[in-house]
Amino acid sequence: MVEVETRDARFIKKIKEKFPLHNYCRSTQYLHYLRSRKHPREIELMRTACNITEKAFRRLLKFVKPGVMEYEIEAEISHEFLRNRSRGPAYGSIIASGANACILHYVDNFRECQDGDVLLLDFGAEYANYAADLTRSIPVNGKFTKRQAEVYNAVLHVMKTAKQMLVPGNTLDQYHKFVGKVMENELIKLDLLTEEDVNNQNPEAPLYKKYFPHGTSHFLGLDVHDVGDKYRPFEEGMVFTCEPGIYIREEGLGIRLENDILITHNGPVDLMENIPLELEDIEREMRG
């Protein structure tokens, strides 16, 4: 087996050969530490990325209807990004209709959207190398069913509660444990879990993970899943996503909601607060 030398490895070798008397150490840990907290200028660029993402989402609310293809929706997003001076998506856009929404990293985007489907949209613009990361779940026909609305509002409640925990001094581990408890209560209300099951569950394998199998937040910045120390307490200037979801494979229903949150000493600041989120606002915009 031939080991291929990477470009970085070649560069390091070249520098060491050219300057052999210097001492060298890796700067990664220092750069990761610095990147975790954003300068006001960086926050300004991230706001611009979020604003461009908002324009794309509002465009989709007028475009989505039964019969459109997932890839057509992706094309609308790319068009709106480019016409607003974004270089394009910060990551592969997820356009997941119906049961596809239960596939966490679905990127095929080839299915026709059907009447009665909920469409999960996970996308974000890149602007000046900084990423936005938005997720919304909308009814393809413009109107949620009763069950879809119940699940949507459960996810929204978890999101709003979780967002308030993104404050200086908290940690990702504490935060995720707290969010897990909130999610358990919502799943019980949805008749997906019972109190008895929860009381008897293995703490190391909580039952809510069947319906909510991913974390609630991750660092955001130059990368959509940006670098950062999960053990480092939250500090002012850090930016995290907040993205709870409920995925019910038996019902072919997956709903996730996500905004980008700036941590400050005065409480969390939602960089996407202007993007429609409430169920009624989504339905009204789609009707309009």
User: Structural domains in the chain?
Assistant: 35-287 (3.90.230.10)
The predicted pLDDT at position 288 comes to 85
Residue 83: per-residue pLDDT: 98
Q: Which tokens go with 260?
A: 């980008």
pLDDT value for 3: 77
Q: By C-alpha distance, which of 153, 150, 74 is closest to 113?
A: 74
Looking at residue 1, what is its pLDDT?
52
Tokens of 170: 């908290």
The tally of CA atoms less than 13 A away on the side-chain side of residue 61 is 22
Pairing of strands 134-139, 118-123: antiparallel
Rounded average pLDDT per 10-residue block, the chain, 288 residues: 81 94 91 96 98 98 98 98 98 98 96 98 98 98 98 98 98 97 98 96 96 98 96 98 98 98 98 98 96
Q: Which pair of structure tokens corresponds to residue 71? A: 């890839």
Query: What was the pLDDT predicted at 2?
Result: 57
Asked if residues 135 and 55 have their Cβ atoms less than 8 Å apart, the reply is: no
The whole-number pLDDT of residue 8 equals 86
